[in-house]
Amino acid sequence: MAKDFYGDLQLGILGGGQLGRMLIQEAINFNVNIHILDPDKHAPCRNLCNRFVNGALNDFDTVYAFGKGLDMLTIEIEKVNVDALEKLEEEGVLVYPQSRIIRLIQDKGLQKQFFKQNDIPTAPFQLISSKENLATASLSLPYIQKLRKDGYDGRGVKKIVTESDVATAFEAPSLIEQWVDFEKELAIIVSRNENGEVATFPCVEMEFNPEANLVEFLISPSTLPFEIQQRAELLAKKIAEDLQIIGLLAVELFLTKDGQLLVNELAPRPHNSGHQSIEGNFTSQFAQHLRAIFNLPPGNTATRSNAVMVNLLGEAGHEGLARYEGIEDVLAMEGVYLHLYGKKYTKPFRKMGHVCIINEDRETAIRIARSVQQTIRVVT
Amino acid sequence: MAKDFYGDLQLGILGGGQLGRMLIQEAINFNVNIHILDPDKHAPCRNLCNRFVNGALNDFDTVYAFGKGLDMLTIEIEKVNVDALEKLEEEGVLVYPQSRIIRLIQDKGLQKQFFKQNDIPTAPFQLISSKENLATASLSLPYIQKLRKDGYDGRGVKKIVTESDVATAFEAPSLIEQWVDFEKELAIIVSRNENGEVATFPCVEMEFNPEANLVEFLISPSTLPFEIQQRAELLAKKIAEDLQIIGLLAVELFLTKDGQLLVNELAPRPHNSGHQSIEGNFTSQFAQHLRAIFNLPPGNTATRSNAVMVNLLGEAGHEGLARYEGIEDVLAMEGVYLHLYGKKYTKPFRKMGHVCIINEDRETAIRIARSVQQTIRVVT
């Protein structure tokens, strides 16, 4: 694309949530004109763009009308109408990541088949069309059932441990995946631009909230042996190249107890597992996504500090207008960076913000992060 | 002020230029609702706020109507109607910096008298009401004539070297100030909150473009002897306390050839001499201003990296729709961070953006900064 676009480029973002919001914080530095489409009239980006359209992301006409006349489209959520994106792409709008990649990643079944076809290590799986297929499944218990489409943030995922769990399984096209007794869950973010320049961020380690099935704690960089991290990086680069993606790709991986790396899922966009890059790395994932889609050289992804990212989730039992407790105390702690997402309403486990803690010493950063978790609360 | 304001606070900013824009980039993290008043309908902040009002900053009714009903007002430029701010303050709107401080700083004569009354070292000066006073001036040539009001970015300042220059002097209330043969020009940014917590950023050194009389190059931190930097810090803290300011205060200083520190001018807001803090310090000046006006504890101001800031000024001879050359090359350089200000039109020496260069090695950072200066151009 033309390199003197600054000031003229009309960039549409499908989705106006926190990822769009943090992308805008960076896009401001490039003079880009931002257009947002989001179904929530209170979306976090509503007041931070040239044009905010309140509409459904999965509706063909809405997405097509939104994108028509823009120079470029990107996403902050995969659950969007891909047919509209494909048509816009044919008509000359730059869609990054490309519509075919969004289509692939929307369907966890296709995503798994893509792994298999490209020799990308992943847990054994089987596609099923309805619950009754489970009776004759080739996988042994326990396994995970995942809806092929529309799962998000832990929704649409069920663990099937005993025969009796089968009765409560989802009745929808899904995949079942061998339960992996993993040692660690890792993530790597990789970017690729139109010139084919590929860059990976250092590997990070994740800790999940088992109740909400959400990342609640992320440590950067990983302290796993160099050899494992290098394997993860090569894998992320291979996937970016196999996909020929333009933009950012988050690769979630399991490290199994026997040292294998298995790819869990992909997200072709900025991702929760990269938020710590804003303060913890020389280039943030948001700046890197923009560099990739604008076909600019990738920024330096190296670690600048040890960083721990804590998601601020809506407190259980609280639903309504959000109120934040403990912010002043948290901001008095060393190396604490607050990011609130501008969401008007909280509900249990809703992502309302995050806090990044940086420190020269990894253990100190973790200690402060635990203290942040105990101090800050999103209530009503 | 109440500590659970996040999401509710209506914050007005007088001025919607680059300082407002970078303040918004940080304010997003606090869920603050932003209202902007600016006379330019193309102002850089126009699409980044809850409400944009296109109106005159020096008009009582416009400023009063804008601020009425808001919780808090701050400024990104001093040239605003202070009578309106004073009335809003009386009516309970929090105005930070306080209206009396803006009034003092708007008038360079009052500012100089404040220095004198508070034993703050500054160059010898004399207030004059018209040009004819110059004939009987108590200062010897050369001196600087400064308009008491409305000077900005090098405008309203004249050097009077010979008797014949007196003829071209400004015919307006002004001050004349002894010409200081300084060694270095320094700046220190200090913040103070309602609790009285005061914090200074490390001292930075400035290099001016003599033609435009604008900072074009800033080096952080200063490498002057510790004793001088410490004196500068104490001076900045004393001024913040003498003023009892709430918010950020930029203190510009001359280091004379005989080692004296003289205060040149104050700016009670984020300042061009603090832009490098975004990448070069643990807390940016914008985050610190917000912490101060929200009465939150000050963030860590320590240097994170050597940083050099280069202003991107409109190229001489170019006036019209802005175009940027060399951006791709600059972004391929090590440690380079681009900030464009979203200004539609360029003109000679207009501040169109800045670039921050960070590096472990100070000399390398300076070398890359020179290369940035030679590569990037804002033209039509």
**B128: CATH:** 3.30.1490.20
Asked if residue B130 and residue B58 are part of one domain, the reply reads no
Show residues of chain A in contact with B25, CB under 8 Å: 25, 28
Asked if residue A199 and residue A168 are part of one domain, the reply reads no
Q: CB of B264 within 8 Å of any CB in chain A?
A: no
- Classify burial at B23, counting beta carbons within 10 Å of its beta carbon; exposed 0-12, middle 13-18, buried 19 or more: buried
Asked if residue B210 and residue B341 are part of one domain, the reply reads yes
* For chain B, percent of residues with pLDDT exceeding 70: 96
Q: In this predicted complex, what is the ipTM? A: 0.95
Asked if residue A324 and residue A192 are part of one domain, the reply reads yes
pLDDT value at position B152?
66
| H helix runs in chain B, sequence order | 18-27, 60-67, 82-90, 99-106, 108-117, 226-243, 277-280, 285-293, 327-331, 362-375
Among A7-16, A75-84, A120-129, B210-219, the minimum mean pLDDT is found in B210-219
Q: Can you tell me the distance from the alpha carbon of A352 to that of A343, in angstroms, rounded to the nearest whole number? A: 6
Asked if residue A365 and residue A292 are part of one domain, the reply reads yes
Interchain contact, B342 vs A21, CB within 8 Å: no
Q: Is there a contact between B94 and B34 (Cβ–Cβ < 8 Å)?
A: no
B359 inside domain? yes
A110 inside domain? no
Query: Count of residues for chain A?
Result: 380
List pLDDT tens digits, range B328-379.
Answer: 999 999 999 999 999 999 999 999 999 999 999 999 999 999 999 999 999 9
A117 inside domain? no
A62 inside domain? yes
Average pLDDT, chain A: 94
pLDDT, mean of residues A112-119: 97
Q: Can you tell me the distance from the alpha carbon of B43 to that of B46, in angstroms, rounded to the nearest whole number? A: 5
Asked if residue A187 and residue A173 are part of one domain, the reply reads no
Can you tell me which residue has the tokens 């998601």? Answer: A311
pLDDT value at position B215?
67
Locate the chain B residue with the closest alpha carbon to A52.
B47
pLDDT, mean of residues B221-249: 97
Q: Is there a contact between B281 and B201 (Cβ–Cβ < 8 Å)?
A: yes
Asked if residue B271 and residue B323 are part of one domain, the reply reads yes
Q: Residue type at B36?
A: I
pLDDT at residue B2 tops 60: no
pLDDT, mean of residues B168-178: 91
pLDDT at residue A1 tops 60: no
Average pLDDT, chain B: 94
Q: At what angle do helices A285-293 and A18-27 cross, to 10 degrees?
A: 70
Give me the sign of the Cα torsion angle B209, B210, B211, B212: positive
Most A CBs within 10 Å, among B1, B3, B6, to test the A interface: B6
Q: Can you tell me the distance from the alpha carbon of B123 to that of B367, in angstroms, rounded to the nearest whole number? A: 34
Residue A349 CA, distance from chain mean position = 16
Show residues of chain B in contact with A300, CB under 8 Å: 334-335
pLDDT value at position A66?
98
Interchain contact, B335 vs A25, CB within 8 Å: no
B254 inside domain? yes
Among B24-38, B209-223, B256-270, the minimum mean pLDDT is found in B209-223
Give the residue, A218 or B210, on which the prediction is more confident. Answer: A218
CATH classification of the domain holding B14: 3.40.50.20
User: Which of B4, B340, B344 faces A323 most closely, judged by CB atoms?
Assistant: B4
Asked if residue B360 and residue B224 are part of one domain, the reply reads yes
Q: CB of B236 within 8 Å of any CB in chain A?
A: no
Asked if residue B148 and residue B195 are part of one domain, the reply reads no
User: Which of B47, B324, B344 faces A4 most closely, judged by CB atoms?
Assistant: B324
pLDDT, mean of residues A310-339: 96
* 97-156 in chain A: CB under 8 A from chain B: none
In degrees rounded to 5, what are phi and psi of residue A238? -60, -45
A114 inside domain? no
Q: 3-state SS of chain B: helix, strand, coil percent to 5?
A: 30, 30, 40
pLDDT value at position A56?
98
Domain C-terminal end among A139, A156, A178: A178
pLDDT, mean of residues B277-300: 98
List pLDDT tens digits, range B152-171.
Answer: 666 788 999 998 888 889 98
pLDDT value at position B137?
86
A103 inside domain? no
Q: CB of B360 within 8 Å of any CB in chain A?
A: no
Asked if residue A163 and residue A189 are part of one domain, the reply reads no
Q: Is there a contact between B305 and B299 (Cβ–Cβ < 8 Å)?
A: no
pLDDT value at position B355?
98
Asked if residue A299 and residue A217 are part of one domain, the reply reads yes
Largest CA distance in chain A: 62
Q: Residue B266: enclosing H or E segment and its boundaries?
A: strand B261-267
Interchain contact, B6 vs A47, CB within 8 Å: no
Give me the sign of the Cα torsion angle B201, B203, B207, B212: positive
What is the rounded (10 degree) CA torsion for A227, A230, A231, A233?
A: 160
Alpha-carbon distance A303 to nearest alpha carbon in chain B (angstroms): 13
Interchain contact, B25 vs A25, CB within 8 Å: yes
CA separation, residue B155 to residues A22, A258, A290, B76 (Å): 37, 70, 37, 18
List pLDDT tens digits, range A227-278.
Answer: 999 999 999 999 999 999 999 999 999 999 999 999 999 999 999 999 999 9
Interchain contact, A300 vs B31, CB within 8 Å: no
Domain residues for the domain of B241 are 182-379
Q: What is the CA radius of gyration of chain A?
A: 20
pLDDT value at position B1?
56
pLDDT, mean of residues A69-73: 97
Show residues of chain B in contact with A334, CB under 8 Å: 300
3-class SS letters over A23-54: HHHHHHHHCCEEEEEECCCCCCCCCCCCEEEE
Q: Is there a contact between B255 and B273 (Cβ–Cβ < 8 Å)?
A: no
pLDDT value at position B23?
98
Q: Is there a contact between B273 and B284 (Cβ–Cβ < 8 Å)?
A: no
Using 50, 70 and 90 to split pLDDT, how confident is the model at B132? confident
Q: Can you tell me the distance from the alpha carbon of B285 to that of B247, in angstroms, rounded to the nearest whole number? A: 10
Domain C-terminal end among B95, B114, B133: B95
Show residues of chain A in contact with B297, CB under 8 Å: 328, 331-332
Domain C-terminal end among B114, B146, B178: B178
Q: How many domains does chain B have?
A: 3
pLDDT value at position A154?
66
Return the number of CB contacts < 8 Å for A and B: 96
Residue B312 corresponds to which tokens in the numbers above? Answer: 């991107």
pLDDT, mean of residues B301-311: 97
Among A141-145, A187-191, A215-219, B220-224, the minimum mean pLDDT is found in A215-219
Asked if residue B355 and residue B240 are part of one domain, the reply reads yes
CATH classification of the domain holding A217: 3.30.470.20
Interchain contact, A340 vs B34, CB within 8 Å: no
pLDDT at residue A152 tops 80: no
pLDDT value at position A213?
67
Q: Can you tell me the distance from the alpha carbon of B346 to that of B356, in angstroms, rounded to the nearest whole number? A: 20
* 32-51 in chain B: CB under 8 A from chain A: 33-34, 47-50
Q: Residue A88: enclosing H or E segment and its boundaries?
A: helix A82-90
pLDDT at residue A211 tops 80: no
Bridge partners (DSSP) of residue B253 are: B186, B263
pLDDT value at position A334?
96
Q: Is there a contact between B97 and B73 (Cβ–Cβ < 8 Å)?
A: no
pLDDT, mean of residues A118-138: 91
B40 inside domain? yes
Alpha-carbon distance B311 to nearest alpha carbon in chain A (angstroms): 14
Locate the chain A residue with the closest alpha carbon to B359.
A282
pLDDT value at position B164?
87
